[in-house]
Amino acid sequence: MEMVKQDNRRQLCDRILMRFQQDQKETEDACRFAEQNAAAQRCSVEVLQV
């Protein structure tokens, strides 16, 4: 019985870690996209000002 509980805890911890890593990657991707978008907007402003 105790072995099953420990195994379930391990699986749960693994799932939580995977979810955390996925969320972190999505956050990093969103930041990268926002930075690229901001750079593109700055470039557009420079072009329009010329």
CA dihedral 13, 15, 20, 21 (to 10 degrees): 110
In this prediction the pTM is: 0.69
For residue range 1-50, list pLDDT tens digits in order: 566 677 799 999 999 999 999 999 999 999 999 999 999 999 999 998 87
